[in-house]
A and B are shown apart, each in its own frame.
Chain A
Amino acid sequence: MEKTKILAIGRHPEIMQTVVRLINNNPEWEGASALTDKDAVQAFDHEIFDLIMLCSGIEPESEENLRTYFTAHRPAVKIIQHYGGGSGLLTAEVYEALKG
């Protein structure tokens, strides 16, 4: 079965490591992370992600630019805000985003 590919973007290196580890704990998901806008765009251009998770510390201007870029290049891509908290919210956030 093909895994759901998730790109998590945030500014806090330690938190992003945790987020990717938690994503990869689910055998149906495969996570990657980016700390900068440039890295996020490179990753997005290189691979087709099912879901983009915007994590902590992203400045409003960056968020707007990233959303604009992602939706312009792949209108169907799902983009959600991830609220941290270990594994507490992750499962529901991903399922909610992908159920439609």
Chain B
Amino acid sequence: MAYTILHKAEGRGHANHGWLNSFHTFSFGSYYNPQAMNFGALRVLNDDTVSGGMGFGRHPHDNMEIISIPLEGDLEHKDSMGNTAIIRKGDIQAMSAGTGIYHSEQNAHENEQVKFLQIWIYPNQKNVEPRYDQLTLNLADRHNRLQQILSPNPDDEGIWIYQNAWFHMGKFDQGKSTKYEFKGKAHNGVYAFVLNGEITVNGQKLNTRDGLGSWDIDALEITADTEAEFLLMEVPMVF
């Protein structure tokens, strides 16, 4: 039997700190919703806008896979492993916090806002040595097809993390369709998140920033009802 959970964009948690405007699909910070704690190993899906020159000061992480996907603007990252980097639209960044790291994230520009998704995944191994990685993706590779941007395998396409998770992005013209077949074994689920436009996933219509989790099925049929961009996150439901 197939299961789904729908999170409408307007039902997400919201925190506007002035410098940071953040929407939380799952409980985060002062937003606590017992009905929205996680989708399997997917624990955090934050949709953040940071004002020019502002950012998250130095703060710790441990035992979490942290993925950042810039949507607009440039984000500067510094961490206690000595990494300093800027990630831009088209890039993906992954950090395995493992035994513990500190990092900061700052809008790289004074006069432009930066928009990005921050996604936290529970790892499949605890207390690993912290690691950082980023990758520039070819945006043309997601036009009317699914581009793999993350996997559990260092030799596979995209970036890798310590979890049996696969992420794909697509930017589809109106009327174009695709089928997503689950990559992992049974008990994986896929969370579809619409970045812009309207799509239909297995008969469920989704608008911009809506999310739909599906599990106990083998595939998703996806159609772009308008020009649309979306992210698919396949994660273990039991971990």
Contacts and interface: CB of A to CB of B under 8 A. Distances in A.
Contact of B64 (A15, A83, A92): A83
B60 A92 contact: no
B64 A84 contact: yes
Interface string B180-212: 000000000000000000000000000000000
A73 interface: no
Nearest to A63: B126
Nearest to B66: A85
Contacts of A71: none
A38 interface: no
Contacts of B59: 18, 85-86
B100 A92 contact: no
Contact of A56 (B43, B44, B100, B122): B100
B165 interface: no
B61 interface: yes
B39 interface: no
B-side binding surface: helix, strand, loop or mixed?
Answer: loop
Question: By DSSP majority rule, is chain A's interface helix, strand, loop, or mixed?
Answer: loop
Given A83-B43, A88-B44, A56 B27 contact: no
A3 interface: no
Interface residues on B, range: 20 to 34
B46 to A, nearest CB: 8
Nearest to A15: B60
A98 to B, nearest CB: 12
Interface in B78-137: 97-100, 102, 120, 122, 127
B50 to A, nearest CB: 15
A15 B62 contact: yes
Interface stretch (B28-36, B149-157, B213-221, B228-236): B28-36
Contact of B29 (A83, A84, A91): A91
A99 interface: yes
Contact of A84 (B56, B100, B122): B100
27 contacts: A10-B62, A11-B99, A12-B60, A12-B62, A12-B99, A15-B100, A55-B62, A57-B100, A58-B127, A59-B127, A83-B122, A84-B62, A84-B63, A84-B64, A85-B64, A85-B66, A85-B97, A86-B56, A86-B59, A86-B60, A87-B29, A89-B28, A89-B43, A89-B120, A91-B27, A91-B29, A95-B32
Given A18-B60, A85-B62, A95-B32, 10 more contacts: A10-B62, A15-B62, A55-B62, A85-B120, A86-B56, A87-B29, A89-B44, A92-B28, A92-B37, A99-B34
